[in-house]
A and B are shown apart, each in its own frame.
Chain A
Amino acid sequence: MISGNLVILTAFAYVVVLFGLAYFSDQRARRGRDGFLRSPLIYTLAISVYCTSWTFYGAVGSAANNGLEFLAVYIGPTLVFVGWWFGLRKLVRIGHAQRITSVADFISSRFGKSGAIAVLVTLIAVIAATPYIALQLKAITSSLRVMLASDAGSFATNIDDSTLALIIAAIMALFTILFGTRNVDANEQHHGVVAAIAFEAVVKLAALFAVGLFVVFGLGGGLAGTFERAAEAGVTFVSQSDFGGRWITITLLSAAAIVCLPRQFQITVVENADESHLRTASWAFPLYMLGMSIFTVPIAIMGKALITSGADPDMFVLTLPLSANQQILSLFAFIGGFSSATSMIIVSSIALSIMVSNHIVVPVALRSQGFNANARPEGVTRLLLTSRRVAIVTILFLGFAYFWLTNGSGALAIIGLISFTGVAQFLPAILAALFWRDATRQGALAGLLVGFAVWLYCLFLPAFAPGNPALSDWVANGLFGLAWLKPQALFGISGIDPLIHAVMWSLMGNSVALIGVSIATENDPVGRLQATRFVDVFRLGSSNQASYVRSSATLNDLFRVASRVLGYQRATQLFDQYEADRRDRQTIEPSPRFIAELESEMAGSIGAASAHVILSQVVSGDIDAIEEVIRMADETQQILEYSQRLENTTTELQSTAQQLRTANVQLRQLDQQKDEFLSQVSHEVRTPMTAIRSFSEILLAHKELPPAQRQQFVTTIHSESMRLTALLDEILDLSALERGESLWINANTDIGATLQRAIDVCTPIAQERGCRIVVDAIPHGQIVFGNADRLSQVFINLITNAIKYNDNADPFIRIETSEAEGQIAIDFEDNGPGVAPADRDIIFEKFSRGRSGGGTTEAGSGLGLAISREIIGRLDGKLELVSTEGSGACFRVTLPLRAEQQAAQ
Chain B
Amino acid sequence: MIAFFLPWIGLLLFMPPFVKLFDNQLRIFGVPAIGVFLFGVWGGLIAISFAVQSRLDRDDKRKAEENAG
Q: What is A's interface to B at a CB cutoff of 8 Å?
A: 68, 71, 74-75, 78-83, 85-86, 223-225, 227-228, 237-239, 243-244, 247-248, 251, 276, 279-280, 282-283, 286-287, 290, 294, 297
Residues in chain A near residue B11, CB distance under 8 A: 79
Query: Out of A74, A223, A237, A280, which one reaches B34, CB within 8 Å?
Result: A237
Please, what's the 1-or-0 string for B30-57, where 1 marks a CB less than 8 Å from any CB in chain A?
1110110011001101111110110011
B18 to chain A, nearest CB (A): 9
Query: Out of B25, B34, B60, which one reaches A68, CB within 8 Å?
Result: B34
**B49 near A243: Cβ-Cβ < 8 Å:** no
Q: A71-B38, A83-B6, A290-B46 are in contact. List 12 more A-B contacts (CB 8 A).
A: A75-B10, A75-B14, A79-B7, A79-B11, A85-B4, A238-B34, A239-B23, A243-B20, A251-B14, A276-B57, A283-B50, A286-B42
Docked complex Cα distance between A236 and B11 (Å): 26
A233 to chain B, nearest CB (A): 15
Smallest Cβ-Cβ distance to B17: which chain A residue: A243
Say whether B69 faces chain A, with CB atoms less than 8 Å apart: no
Docked complex Cα distance between A83 and B45 (Å): 10
**B42 near A223: Cβ-Cβ < 8 Å:** no
Residues in chain A near residue B60, CB distance under 8 A: 276
A694 to chain B, nearest CB (A): 87
- In the A-B complex, the 9 residue pairs with the smallest Cβ-Cβ separation, listed nearest first, are A224-B30, A83-B7, A283-B49, A283-B50, A279-B53, A79-B7, A227-B30, A283-B46, A282-B49
Please, what's the 1-or-0 string for B3-25, where 1 marks a CB less than 8 Å from any CB in chain A?
11011101100111001100111
Docked complex Cα distance between A287 and B4 (Å): 19
**B53 near A282: Cβ-Cβ < 8 Å:** yes
Query: Out of B32, B42, B47, B53, which one reaches A78, CB within 8 Å?
Result: B42
Residues in chain A near residue B15, CB distance under 8 A: 247-248, 251
> Could you say which interface size class chain B belongs to?
35 or more
11 A-B contacts, Cβ less than 8 Å apart? A68-B38, A74-B42, A83-B3, A86-B7, A238-B25, A243-B23, A244-B16, A282-B49, A283-B47, A283-B50, A290-B42
**A286 near B46: Cβ-Cβ < 8 Å:** yes
Say whether B63 faces chain A, with CB atoms less than 8 Å apart: no
Smallest Cβ-Cβ distance to B57: which chain A residue: A279
By secondary structure, the B interface counts as helix
**B29 near A223: Cβ-Cβ < 8 Å:** yes
Smallest Cβ-Cβ distance to B19: which chain A residue: A243
Docked complex Cα distance between A17 and B8 (Å): 43
Most buried by B among A224, A243, A287: A243
Docked complex Cα distance between A287 and B43 (Å): 7
Residues in chain B near residue A282, CB distance under 8 A: 49, 52-53
B23 to chain A, nearest CB (A): 6
**A82 near B10: Cβ-Cβ < 8 Å:** yes
**B49 near A237: Cβ-Cβ < 8 Å:** no
Docked complex Cα distance between A678 and B42 (Å): 85
**A223 near B23: Cβ-Cβ < 8 Å:** no
Residues in chain B near residue A247, CB distance under 8 A: 15-16, 19
**B42 near A228: Cβ-Cβ < 8 Å:** no
- Contacts A279-B57, A283-B49, A286-B42; is A248 near B16 (CB within 8 Å)? yes
Residues in chain A near residue B34, CB distance under 8 A: 68, 237-238
Say whether B27 faces chain A, with CB atoms less than 8 Å apart: yes
Docked complex Cα distance between A893 and B63 (Å): 64
**A223 near B53: Cβ-Cβ < 8 Å:** no
Residues in chain A near residue B6, CB distance under 8 A: 82-83
**B42 near A79: Cβ-Cβ < 8 Å:** no
Smallest Cβ-Cβ distance to A294: which chain B residue: B39
Residues in chain A near residue B35, CB distance under 8 A: 68, 237, 297
**B38 near A82: Cβ-Cβ < 8 Å:** no
Query: Out of A75, A251, A297, which one reaches B42, CB within 8 Å?
Result: A75
**A238 near B23: Cβ-Cβ < 8 Å:** yes
Most buried by A among B29, B38, B48, B56: B38
Smallest Cβ-Cβ distance to A225: which chain B residue: B30
Docked complex Cα distance between A227 and B24 (Å): 15
**A228 near B7: Cβ-Cβ < 8 Å:** no
Docked complex Cα distance between A276 and B52 (Å): 12
Query: Out of A68, A251, A290, which one reaches B43, CB within 8 Å?
Result: A290
Docked complex Cα distance between A297 and B27 (Å): 15
Query: Out of A68, A74, A83, A283, which one reaches B53, CB within 8 Å?
Result: A283
Residues in chain B near residue A85, CB distance under 8 A: 3-4
**B32 near A227: Cβ-Cβ < 8 Å:** yes
A236 to chain B, nearest CB (A): 8
**B39 near A290: Cβ-Cβ < 8 Å:** yes
A249 to chain B, nearest CB (A): 12
Docked complex Cα distance between A297 and B38 (Å): 13
Most buried by B among A82, A86, A228, A282: A82
Residues in chain A near residue B10, CB distance under 8 A: 75, 78-79, 82
Residues in chain B near residue A279, CB distance under 8 A: 52-53, 56-57
Docked complex Cα distance between A82 and B34 (Å): 22
Residues in chain B near residue A290, CB distance under 8 A: 39, 42-43, 46
Smallest Cβ-Cβ distance to B9: which chain A residue: A82
**B30 near A223: Cβ-Cβ < 8 Å:** yes
**B53 near A280: Cβ-Cβ < 8 Å:** yes
Smallest Cβ-Cβ distance to B47: which chain A residue: A283
Residues in chain B near residue A287, CB distance under 8 A: 46
Smallest Cβ-Cβ distance to A75: which chain B residue: B14
Residues in chain A near residue B3, CB distance under 8 A: 83, 85
Residues in chain A near residue B30, CB distance under 8 A: 223-225, 227-228
A67 to chain B, nearest CB (A): 9
**B56 near A238: Cβ-Cβ < 8 Å:** no
**B42 near A237: Cβ-Cβ < 8 Å:** no
Most buried by B among A86, A276, A279, A294: A279
Residues in chain B near residue A244, CB distance under 8 A: 16
B10 to chain A, nearest CB (A): 5
Smallest Cβ-Cβ distance to B6: which chain A residue: A82
**A286 near B45: Cβ-Cβ < 8 Å:** yes
Residues in chain A near residue B27, CB distance under 8 A: 227
Residues in chain A near residue B53, CB distance under 8 A: 279-280, 282-283
B12 to chain A, nearest CB (A): 10
Docked complex Cα distance between A531 and B39 (Å): 40
**B23 near A82: Cβ-Cβ < 8 Å:** no
Docked complex Cα distance between A287 and B47 (Å): 9
Smallest Cβ-Cβ distance to B26: which chain A residue: A238
Smallest Cβ-Cβ distance to B16: which chain A residue: A243
**A227 near B31: Cβ-Cβ < 8 Å:** yes
Smallest Cβ-Cβ distance to A72: which chain B residue: B14
Docked complex Cα distance between A530 and B50 (Å): 35
Residues in chain B near residue A224, CB distance under 8 A: 29-31
Most buried by A among B10, B47, B50, B53: B53
Smallest Cβ-Cβ distance to A80: which chain B residue: B7
Docked complex Cα distance between A224 and B36 (Å): 12
B6 to chain A, nearest CB (A): 5
Docked complex Cα distance between A81 and B10 (Å): 11
Smallest Cβ-Cβ distance to A83: which chain B residue: B7
Residues in chain B near residue A239, CB distance under 8 A: 23-24
**A79 near B39: Cβ-Cβ < 8 Å:** no
Residues in chain A near residue B31, CB distance under 8 A: 223-224, 227
Residues in chain B near residue A83, CB distance under 8 A: 3, 6-8
